[in-house]
Amino acid sequence: MHPHLKEVLFTEKEIESRVKALAHEISTDYAGKNPLIVGILKGSIMFTVDLLKALSIDAQVDFMDVSSYGNGLSTSGEVRILKDLDTKAQGRDILICEDIIDSGNTLLYVKNLLAHRGANSVKIISLLDKPAGRKVKINGDYIGFEVPDEFVVGYGIDYAERYRQLPYIGIFNTDFLIKD
Ligand code: PRP
Ligand code: MN
Ligand code: MG
């Protein structure tokens, strides 16, 4: 375990098996629909790639970079588009792929935006859900794991751009907070 973590929540193997189960569900539900998987940069990189690899149906992938956190520990509520889709949303069955739903601000914004652009359907898959963090009413359609009200990192999820590379997910030890 990385020395800046307090505890491992989900091992590499546990994540792998949960992602495969989710991919199986998606492959059934979206058979013949050629869904557009929209990964939200950067936190969802690992999950998006692993999910794609485990799908048994045709699908396409695109990315949006939407940020609401900056380097702080709590959400600002402000959502900014840093990179938009290259693909037209019109008429597509879109599955937004996230690493974590916390306040819900990011996903509420992206979901409304893509629906407004005329997508045929917009659903959400998130590896993690932190219900205690919710500030707006939004829920995932497919969830990997529920997490407690702690700061989690790893498998794409950062604190101040660190720890994304870890192949497992754990609780950040706040003794290692960066002070300014
Ligand atoms: C994090 C995380 C989710 C979002 C969840 O992204 O990856 O996208 O915050 O929080 P919310 O439900 O309160 O909106 P962040 O904005 O930190 O960007 P990153 O993915 O590049 O780390
Ligand atoms: Mn993110
Ligand atoms: Mg972040």
Domain definitions of the chain by residue range: 11-151
Q: How much is the pTM?
A: 0.94
CATH (residue range 11-151): 3.40.50.2020
For the CA of 158, the closest atom of ligand 1 is 22
Which stretch of 55-59, 70-74, 120-124 has the lowest confidence by average pLDDT? 70-74
Q: Which amino acid is it at 86?
A: D
At residue 77, does pLDDT exceed 70? no
Of the candidates 102, 149, 158, 180, the residue annotated as catalytic is: 102
Task: Give nearest CA residue, ligand 1 atom 17.
Answer: 69
Which stretch of 26-35, 72-81, 94-103, 105-114 has the lowest confidence by average pLDDT? 72-81
For position 74, what pLDDT does the model report? 57
Residues 6+ apart with CB under 8 A from 115: 122
Residues 6+ apart with CB under 8 A from 77: 68, 103, 105, 135
* Rg over CA atoms, the chain: 16
102 catalytically annotated: yes
User: With a 6 A CB cut-off, is 98 part of the ligand 1 pocket?
Assistant: yes
User: With a 6 A CB cut-off, is 114 part of the ligand 1 pocket?
Assistant: no
For position 179, what pLDDT does the model report? 87
pLDDT tens digits for range 104-137: 999 999 999 999 999 999 999 999 999 999 999 9
pLDDT tens digits for range 86-102: 999 999 999 999 999 99
Give the rounded distance of the alpha carbon of 7 from its chain centre: 21
For position 80, what pLDDT does the model report? 87
pLDDT band at 78 (very low <50, low <70, confident <90, very high): confident
For position 3, what pLDDT does the model report? 98
**Model-level ipTM above the cut of 0.85:** yes
User: With a 6 A CB cut-off, is 169 part of the ligand 1 pocket?
Assistant: no
**Lookup: tokens for 9:** 């929540």
